[in-house]
Amino acid sequence: MVSLRFLGTGGARWVVAKQIRSSAGFWLRTGTTNVHVDPGPGALVRALALVPPCDPATLDAIVLSHKHLDHAGDVNAMIEAMCQGGWRPRGALCAPRDALDRDEEPVVFPYARRFVPAEFVVAEHSGPFAIGDVELRASMRLKHPVEAYGLHFRTPEARVSYLPCTRYFDAIADDFRAHAPDVLVLNVLRYRDTMDVDHLTFDDARTLIDAIRPGAAIMSHFGTRMLERDPKRLAYEIEDATGVKTFAAYDGWTYDAA
Ligand SMILES: [Zn+2]
Ligand SMILES: [Zn+2]
C-alpha cells in the first residue's frame, strides 16, 4: 500500500495568508512508513484534525523541498510532535542546507534539529536516503530563489516523484523521466505567467506531464488564478491533451498510489 494524503493544497502568498486552501503539505504513507513532505503553516493542526488523524508521533521523516514559509512554516512544530518534545527522539529530517545552517537564516530551530536522530541534507542528486521502506533521492537543483529540489521516493510498490516550486526549464523533464514515476505530484501555482516568477504555470505543467509521462499526475499548491479556473477542470484538460491520467488535489484528499 502506498498512499498520498493531501493535508494542504494551497500555495502563493494570498492563498496561504487567507488559508483559502490549507498549506499543510502531504503525507506519503506505505504499510510501515510515514513521511511528511513540506509542512507549511497549519500542518500540525491539519494533521491532527483529519479523520482518521495523521499522528505525528508515527512519522519516520519530515522532508522539506525548500525553506519557503508555505513549505516549512510548521517544520519545528512537526519535529516537536514527531519527537514528543524531545523526549522520544525518532525519525529523520531531510532538508536543503540553507534551511538548516546557522549562517543561512535557517528555518529549523537549532534546538529542534537536535531532537531528530537522523539528518539527511537534500542537495543536487543526493541520496538515496533510507526512510523505513522508502528510498529518497533528490533531483537536480531547481530554479527558485532559495535552494529547492525535486524529491524522488521509491517505495516497494510505487515510485512517487514530487516537483515543488520552480521556474520551468527543459532539463526538469529529463531528470524526472529518468525516475519513471508511477505518480508525479507537481506544484502548479500559476495559471499563466503575467509576472515573471520562479513558479510553474498551467501550461508548463501540461508540457512537463506530456514529457515525463508518469502513470498519473497530481497538481497541487494552487494560487488564486488556478483556483478561480477550477483545477479539476484544468486537470481534465491536461488529461485530454496528454493522455496521462491527471488529478487536481484538494484538502483532505487521499490518493492510493498502489
Ligand atoms: Zn517557494
Ligand atoms: Zn511554494
**pLDDT (tens digit per residue) in 199-248:** 999 999 999 999 999 999 999 999 999 999 999 999 999 999 999 999 99
Please give the distance, rounded to the nearest whole angstrom, from the Cα atom of residue 23 to the centre of ligand 2. Answer: 9
Please give the distance, rounded to the nearest whole angstrom, from the Cα atom of residue 71 to the centre of ligand 1. Answer: 7
pLDDT in tens, 94-147: 999 999 999 999 999 999 999 999 999 999 999 999 999 999 999 999 999 999
Q: Is residue 258 part of a domain?
A: no
pLDDT of residue 196: 76
Query: Count of residues for the chain?
Result: 258
pLDDT of residue 19: 97
Q: Is residue 256 part of a domain?
A: no
Query: Could you tell me how far CA 173 lies from the centroid of its own chain?
Result: 17
192 C-beta neighbours (distance < 10 Å), count: 10
Question: How far apart are the two ends of the chain, measured CA to CA in Å?
Answer: 5
Q: Is residue 37 part of a domain?
A: yes
pLDDT in tens, 122-134: 999 999 999 999 9
pLDDT over 90 at 195, yes or no: no
CB burial class (10 A; 0-12, 13-18, 19+) of residue 228? exposed
For residue 60, give the C-alpha cell.
519516520
d(CA 83, CA 75): 12
pLDDT of residue 242: 98
Q: What is the CATH number of the domain that holds 84?
A: 3.60.15.10
Please give the distance, rounded to the nearest whole angstrom, from the Cα atom of residue 1 to the centre of ligand 1. Answer: 30
pLDDT over 80 at 194, yes or no: no
Please give the distance, rounded to the nearest whole angstrom, from the Cα atom of residue 11 to the centre of ligand 1. Answer: 9
Catalogue the E-assigned strands of the chain.
2-6, 26-30, 34-37, 61-63, 92-96, 118-122, 129-131, 134-141, 149-154, 159-163, 183-187, 216-220, 245-248, 254-256
pLDDT in tens, 13-68: 899 999 999 999 999 999 999 999 999 999 999 999 999 999 999 999 999 999 99
Please give the distance, rounded to the nearest whole angstrom, from the Cα atom of residue 75 to the centre of ligand 1. Answer: 15
Please give the distance, rounded to the nearest whole angstrom, from the Cα atom of residue 143 to the centre of ligand 2. Answer: 12
Closest ligand (CA of 197): 1
Say which residues have a Cβ less than 8 Å from residue 13's Cβ, sequence separation at least 6.
70
Please give the tally of structural domains in the chain.
1
pLDDT of residue 40: 98
3-state SS assignment for residue 231: helix
Q: Is residue 78 part of a domain?
A: yes
Please give the distance, rounded to the nearest whole angstrom, from the Cα atom of residue 68 to the centre of ligand 1. Answer: 5
Please list all protein residues whose beta carbon sits less than 5 angstroms from ligand 2, which is an ion. 11, 70, 165
Please give the distance, rounded to the nearest whole angstrom, from the Cα atom of residue 88 to the centre of ligand 1. Answer: 31
d(CA 3, CA 257): 5
Q: Is residue 100 part of a domain?
A: yes
Please give the distance, rounded to the nearest whole angstrom, from the Cα atom of residue 109 to the centre of ligand 2. Answer: 20
Closest ligand (CA of 70): 2
Please give the distance, rounded to the nearest whole angstrom, from the Cα atom of residue 66 to the centre of ligand 1. Answer: 7
What confidence tier does 8 reach under pLDDT thresholds 50, 70, 90?
very high
pLDDT of residue 12: 87
CA distances from residue 83 to 57, 71, 98, 125, 135 in whole angstroms, order as listed: 7, 20, 23, 28, 21
Q: Is residue 117 part of a domain?
A: yes
Please give the distance, rounded to the nearest whole angstrom, from the Cα atom of residue 219 to the centre of ligand 2. Answer: 13
The domain in which residue 126 lies consists of 2-251
Q: Is residue 257 part of a domain?
A: no
Q: Is residue 207 part of a domain?
A: yes
How would DSSP label each residue in 112-125? HHTT-SEEEEE-TT
Can you tell me the mean pLDDT for 71-100?
Answer: 97
pLDDT of residue 11: 94
Please list all protein residues whose beta carbon sits less than 5 angstroms from ligand 1, which is an ion. 68, 165
